[in-house]
Chains A and B, each alone.
Chain A
Amino acid sequence: MLRSRTDRDANSSMALLELAHVGKSFGPAGAQTVALDSIDLVLAERGFLAVVGPSGCGKSTLLQIAAGLMPADRGRAMVAGKPITSPPPHVVYVFQQYTKSLFPWRTVLGNTEFALEGRAGIGRGERRDRSLNLLQLVGLQDFAAHYPWQLSGGMQQRVAIARALAADARVLLMDEPFSALDALTRLDLQNLLLELWAARNLTVLFVTHDVDEAVYLADSVAVLTYRPARVDELIEVGLPRPRDPITTREQSRFLELRHHLLSHLMRRRSADERVHA
């Protein structure tokens, strides 16, 4: 009943990011904890996939494997048809901890320019122009000379997004990027992300523990199980776009999905608690 198709159907375009039977374990041999069991996820170009699951279920591990920051123990992780062995170009990670992912000794402009430095054929002037344009795009044109620690959390995360765009990101891997922000700021940034996603043809893999956020943003939502993580369910959202921060959340489809996902997660949680007790 919950399955439906959208016009951005995953099957109709090329798979840009593909995880096939991806597994990962931690700890010493013999006493290993299986973090990821066997993850299968396909993300089409210009797709928006949200991954929800309980805290500590291995969502970040999944993203780090996709980012080439951590090798998978089992299975295949591929971007644009190529196996991921090191951080692939055009795939950028956006962390939850924006205070730690920005360079405190660089200005907002300097942080954005960082992504363009060392790139062939881009001189100092062009680097600056491009960065200023991107800062304007995220609404920070007046803060270029500020330092990150002089900005609010929402503004800092905007800098991180501008920097990701400066790196010419085609795929954004977002690890609970808005979960440390206050509710209104989070709504602002969700909409900024949707605008940028549509305008710049981005592909987004978005990890969150917030069911509302997942349904509001994504084309499809993957629900992970708790340790070891598997894809328990993959749901097509099917809400019309552009989405509206108020009215989209009032639609019956939104409420239906929210109900389904929350009860699913809560049911699993109590089952897991029985197992792990």
Chain B
Amino acid sequence: MPKWLAQWAPGALVIALGLWGIEEAVNHGLVKRSLLPAPSDVGVVLWQLLADGDVAGPLSETLARLGVGFAIGAMLAIALGLAMGYWPRLYDLLEPLIELLRPIPKAALVPALVLFLGVDNAMKITSIALAVFFPIVINTVQGARGVDPVLINTARTLGVRPFSLLRKLILPASAPFIFAGMRLSIALGLILAVISEMIAGTGGIGFLIIDMQRAFRVRQMYAWIVILAVVGYLLNLLLVLAEHRMLFWYRTTERT
């Protein structure tokens, strides 16, 4: 058996057993079909969604919002995080505010954002950007403050100006922390994308899930939940791969 198979097989077995257990429970009437359909029924619906291409529209709608919101939130967070890490005074000024705002579940702000921004993309993208912002800013600050003084002093005696120092030294040196923050954020961003679509939606996966539930199309509802699970998994995988590619130098240096 190849190594990767030996590594993955036990986990896959647990998932298969779980699905089989639900299947049997539903078939024996232990769970009402109207609450939880058999996984095989959900699988059939899922297959139809994929085969007919009906998955593309809602999926691309949700992903587009997530992408734009994530990009805005991440860029602002990285810029502010680097600045706060580099200038202690800015850190002292903003750190209490950030610590105060950070624990608010960003979903709780969606109704308020609706008041300001309405129910369209502006509100949804802002919600996502807000959710994405905090983990990244906090990680970036931590990374930027932790850059070895020897490295900073080296750059300073080589005559590097503050802005170049941030871009060429503090940014790459903080990248491992920034990536850790982005991986936390992408999951939060997806949550906010779905919630904002549920609260005020005309499209996207979040809207479909609540719409199917209201129409008692339970199998469709579960099919979209499965799609969200796969999307979340793939987004994380994408970030992990990007991290491996960009931070090739990190593991090696940390080991020595």
Instruction: Say if the beta carbon of A245 comes within 8 Å of chain B.
Output: no
Interface residues contributed by chain B, number (CB under 8 Å): 22
Chain A: minimal CB distance from B146 (Å): 12
User: Whose C-beta in chain A lies nearest to the C-beta of B159?
Assistant: A89
Using A114-B158, A167-B159 as known contacts, say yes or no to A69 and B153 having CB atoms under 8 A apart: yes
- The contact string, 1 if C-beta is below 8 Å from chain A, for chain B 47-73, is 000000000000000000000000000
Question: Quick check: A147 and B157 within 8 Å, CB to CB?
Answer: no
Instruction: Say if the beta carbon of B245 comes within 8 Å of chain A.
Output: no
Instruction: Write out the residue numbers on chain A whose beta carbons fall within 8 Å of the beta carbon of B159.
Output: 87, 89, 115, 118, 167
Chain A: minimal CB distance from B158 (Å): 5
Give residues 98-129 of A contacting B (CB, 8 Å): 99-101, 103-105, 114-115, 117-118
Chain A: minimal CB distance from B126 (Å): 33
CA distance A149 to B248 in the complex (A): 11
Q: Which of A68, A101, A117, A149 contacts B150 (CB 8 A)?
A: A101
CA distance A103 to B256 in the complex (A): 14
Question: Quick check: A101 and B160 within 8 Å, CB to CB?
Answer: no
Instruction: Say if the beta carbon of A239 comes within 8 Å of chain B.
Output: no
Question: Quick check: A149 and B160 within 8 Å, CB to CB?
Answer: no
CA distance A16 to B102 in the complex (A): 53
Question: Quick check: B157 and A67 within 8 Å, CB to CB?
Answer: yes
CA distance A104 to B150 in the complex (A): 13
Question: Quick check: A118 and B164 within 8 Å, CB to CB?
Answer: yes
User: Whose C-beta in chain B lies nearest to the C-beta of A173?
Assistant: B157
Instruction: Write out the residue numbers on chain A whose beta carbons fall within 8 Å of the beta carbon of B157.
Output: 67-69, 87, 91-93, 167, 173
Instruction: Write out the residue numbers on chain A whose beta carbons fall within 8 Å of the beta carbon of B154.
Output: 93, 95, 101
Give residues 48-66 of A contacting B (CB, 8 Å): 64
Give residues 121-163 of B contacting A (CB, 8 Å): 148, 150-151, 153-161
User: Whose C-beta in chain A lies nearest to the C-beta of B252?
Assistant: A149
- The contact string, 1 if C-beta is below 8 Å from chain B, for chain A 76-88, is 0000000000010
Give residues 152-194 of B contacting A (CB, 8 Å): 153-161, 164, 168-169, 172, 175
CA distance A106 to B250 in the complex (A): 12
Instruction: Say if the beta carbon of B249 comes within 8 Å of chain A.
Output: yes
Instruction: Say if the beta carbon of B253 comes within 8 Å of chain A.
Output: yes
Question: Quick check: B158 and A69 within 8 Å, CB to CB?
Answer: no
Chain B: minimal CB distance from A45 (Å): 19
Instruction: Say if the beta carbon of A190 comes within 8 Å of chain B.
Output: no
CA distance A275 to B239 in the complex (A): 59
Question: Quick check: B158 and A100 within 8 Å, CB to CB?
Answer: no
User: Whose C-beta in chain A lies nearest to the C-beta of B253?
Assistant: A104
Question: Quick check: A103 and B151 within 8 Å, CB to CB?
Answer: yes
CA distance A87 to B160 in the complex (A): 10
Instruction: Write out the residue numbers on chain A whose beta carbons fall within 8 Å of the beta carbon of B150.
Output: 95, 97, 100-101
Instruction: Write out the residue numbers on chain B whose beta carbons fall within 8 Å of the beta carbon of A167.
Output: 157-159
Instruction: Write out the residue numbers on chain B whose beta carbons fall within 8 Å of the beta carbon of A105.
Output: 172, 175, 249
Instruction: Write out the residue numbers on chain B whose beta carbons fall within 8 Å of the beta carbon of A101.
Output: 150-151, 154
Question: Quick check: B161 and A118 within 8 Å, CB to CB?
Answer: yes
Instruction: Write out the residue numbers on chain A whose beta carbons fall within 8 Å of the beta carbon of B164.
Output: 117-118
Instruction: Write out the residue numbers on chain B whose beta carbons fall within 8 Å of the beta carbon of A69.
Output: 153, 156-157
User: Whose C-beta in chain A lies nearest to the C-beta of B153?
Assistant: A69
| 8 closest Cβ pairs, A-B complex | A100-B150, A104-B249, A93-B157, A101-B154, A104-B253, A105-B249, A87-B157, A115-B158
Q: Which residues of B contact A (CB under 8 A)?
A: 148, 150-151, 153-161, 164, 168-169, 172, 175, 249-250, 252-253, 256
